[in-house]
Amino acid sequence: MSQRYFGPLAGVIIPALLLYSYKPNPVMSSYAATAVFLFIGCCWLGISFLNHEHPVQKQVSIVQLGSARRYSVGGLLTLSLLTLLLDLFVVIYPVITGSFGEAAGLDRILLAICGHALLGLLGIAVSLFLQSSWVPKAGYAAGLMLIIIILSVSAGKVAELVPGPIVSILLPPVFPVMDAMMNTDSLPLRAVLGAYAHALVYIILLAGLYIYRSGRMDYNKN
């Protein structure tokens, strides 16, 4: 595997291993933390993956596939598969190593798998718009990614400063999913599923916009 991917993968796996090196851990609070690790790691992974191909080779690949949108969908599916593999690792690892102070239970494991998948895919969706063909300067892309991560994770505090629905509409819904996972045991199931649905809609909108715009971009200029 290219060294380009080592950083983001290590950025997910190493913090998770450190978290579970101390026992026992609370179930859903720990899962909420690793889901945020996955969001950050997938932002980074997406940018690394989408920028790995030389622009000329990218043009050749698009010509061979016959469609820029087909090329973009292929990249999205590959990143989604990597995200789901990371998702399963960080959710199953503490269960098989007995890192929790109580039995996780099938219902909480399923909610954790879905929550991790949503935040991982959300990270991928954000990265789509930060690749070099959209943001040519790597420094700008890295800065934007850092700002988005900070604002998204701290959206609860940001919402106190910016009243109204602006924060919940504009910012990637990392905080609602994280909050729902942390409070799964006390929140009604519909509230948890509502937070998940919010993230799913956001991912679909970003991915749909990306695929639509990909088909209209002139990659000969990039």
pLDDT at 2: 60
Q: Output the CA–CA distances (angstroms, integers) from residue 26 to 13, 108, 119, 162, 204, in the order listed.
A: 19, 12, 20, 32, 31
The encoded tokens of residue 105 equal: 């239970």
Bridge partners (DSSP) listed for residue 100: 25
What residue has token string 């989604």? 80
pLDDT at 221: 56
127: nearest Cα among 48, 214, 62: 48
Asked whether residue 73 carries a pLDDT value surpassing 70, the answer given is yes
Q: How far, in Å, CA of 128 to CA of 211, rounded?
A: 10
pLDDT at 52: 78
Asked whether residue 109 carries a pLDDT value surpassing 60, the answer given is yes
pLDDT at 76: 92
What pTM did the predictor assign? 0.90
pLDDT at 16: 93
Number of CB atoms found within 10 A of residue 214's CB? 22
pLDDT in tens, 209-222: 999 988 777 665 55
pLDDT in tens, 191-211: 999 999 999 999 999 999 999
pLDDT at 41: 94
Burial class (CB in 10 A: 0-12, 13-18, 19+), 131: buried
Asked whether residue 179 carries a pLDDT value surpassing 80, the answer given is yes
Q: Work out the mean pLDDT of the chain and round it to a whole number.
A: 89
The encoded tokens of residue 141 equal: 């892309």
166 confidence band (pLDDT: 50, 70, 90): confident
Amino acid code (one letter) for 64: Q
163 confidence band (pLDDT: 50, 70, 90): confident
Q: How far, in Å, CA of 35 to CA of 29, rounded?
A: 10
Q: What percent of the chain has pLDDT over 70?
A: 96
pLDDT in tens, 28-72: 999 999 999 999 999 999 998 888 777 778 788 888 877 888 888
pLDDT in tens, 135-159: 888 889 999 999 999 999 988 888 8
pLDDT at 208: 94
pLDDT at 60: 81
Q: How far, in Å, CA of 152 to CA of 100, rounded?
A: 27
Asked whether residue 8 carries a pLDDT value surpassing 70, the answer given is yes
Asked whether residue 165 carries a pLDDT value surpassing 70, the answer given is yes
